[in-house]
Amino acid sequence: MQIVRLAQEWQLISKLKSGGFATVYRTRSENIEDAILKLIPKRPGASRELLFENLTGLPNILLIIETGEWGDYWVIVMPRTDKSLRDYLDESGGRLESDKAIAVLVDILTALAALQDRVVHRDLKPENILYWQGHWCLADFGIARYVLATTSSETWKYAWTWAYAAPEQWRGERTTSATDIYATGIIAYELITGEGPFNGPAEHDYREQHLHQEAAPLTGSPPLLATLVAECLFKTSNARPTAKHVLSRLQNMQGTESVASIVFYG
């Protein structure tokens, strides 16, 4: 078994996935039996995710156990989680009942409210939302940026996912906390309907849809929730509600009759 030596020695048990930005392994150490280790090849901008280690301790942000360098790689060690939101959606037949969708969104917005005006994730999607210790937590800050930081050529600002990218990202404009609200609106739409509001399929299709096409009205959804999702998907970033505002409205919906009152649009 290969050993990665940081402050602790991490034994690589098995490779879980490999992509353009990193290779992910299941790992263990003398003190931790089961964890995830990410090897990120050293190249310009590749150490960005390590900058966000100090987010540990904020609500619903996945813990970073340890970071460091190992040969030609940056290393991040995280807890092994139960599943991703994508896994949960697949297990649930592609969509969730309104009360379950709201519960997931409350967890996401709790994290975003803590990050508001501080950090922009820039790549929120079900694959980057992981279930850990009873909550849905944000993970993979590989292309995130601090809100007040100067944008440089090494921020990987164009490494986002087409289906969840806000209009300002397609225009190459500066991202803000409102960018993550837009992606959350896409996620919410998908949780409720089983598919995103914009489905490409090619890059130029996504660009046109995010910039100029309005999402079809939600069906089979509580009216308060449908209205909130529509506001999150406003094309103009300044018109979208803040994370704290969205969180408050979602919390008010939990356990109320509004969740059970379904409205269908013709």
**Ranges 8-22, 138-152, 246-260, most confident:** 8-22
Catalytic residue among 34, 87, 90, 123: 123
Tokens for 23?
């290779």
The percentage of residues in the chain with a pLDDT greater than 70, rounded to a whole number, is 83
What distance in Å separates the CA atoms of residue 101 and residue 138, rounded to the nearest whole number? 16
Place 152 in a pLDDT band, splitting at 50, 70 and 90: very low
Q: What angle do CA 68, 72, 76 make, to 5 degrees?
A: 30
**Mean pLDDT of the 125-131 span:** 95
Q: Which single residue is written with the structure tokens 């529509």?
A: 230
pLDDT at res. 179: 96
Higher pLDDT, residue 106 or 142: 106
Residue 129's alpha-carbon distances to 61, 70, 94, 126, 150, in angstroms, are 9, 27, 16, 5, 27
> Mean pLDDT, the chain, as a whole number?
87
Tokens for 144?
């995130």
What distance in Å separates the CA atoms of residue 132 and residue 209, rounded to the nearest whole number? 34
The percentage of residues in the chain with a pLDDT greater than 90, rounded to a whole number, is 71
pLDDT at res. 46: 60
User: What CATH code would you report for 3-79?
Assistant: 3.30.200.20
Q: Which single residue is written with the structure tokens 């409350």?
A: 106
Residue 134 has pLDDT above 60, yes or no: yes
Residue 264 has pLDDT above 70, yes or no: no
pLDDT at res. 153: 43
Q: Start-end ranges of CATH 1.10.510.10 in the chain? A: 83-260
What distance in Å separates the CA atoms of residue 108 and residue 103, rounded to the nearest whole number? 9
Q: Taking the CB of residue 3, how many other CB atoms lie within 10 A of it?
A: 11
> In Å, how far from its chain's centre is CA 168?
17
In the chain, the amino acid numbered 105 is L
What distance in Å separates the CA atoms of residue 161 and residue 123, rounded to the nearest whole number? 6
What distance in Å separates the CA atoms of residue 213 and residue 204, rounded to the nearest whole number? 13
Following DSSP, what letter does each residue of 118-166 receive, concatenated? TEE-S---GGGEEEETTEEEE---TT-EETTSPP-TTS-TT-S-GGG--
Q: At 77, which helix (H) or strand (E)? A: strand 73-79
Annotated catalytic, 117?
no
Q: What is the DSSP letter of 24?
A: E
Handedness of CA 58, 61, 66, 67 (dihedral sign): negative
Q: Start-end ranges of CATH 3.30.200.20 in the chain? A: 3-79
The domain 83-260 belongs to what CATH superfamily?
A: Transferase(Phosphotransferase) domain 1 (1.10.510.10)
Residue 110 has pLDDT above 70, yes or no: yes
pLDDT at res. 21: 75
Residue 15 pairs in a beta bridge with 25
**Mean pLDDT of the 177-193 span:** 97
pLDDT at res. 52: 62
What distance in Å separates the CA atoms of residue 162 and residue 242, rounded to the nearest whole number? 22
**Prior bond to 201 cis, omega within 30?**
yes
For 87-104, write each residue's pLDDT tens digit: 999 999 999 999 999 999
Inter-residue contact 197 to 186 (CB < 8 Å): yes
Inter-residue contact 123 to 79 (CB < 8 Å): no
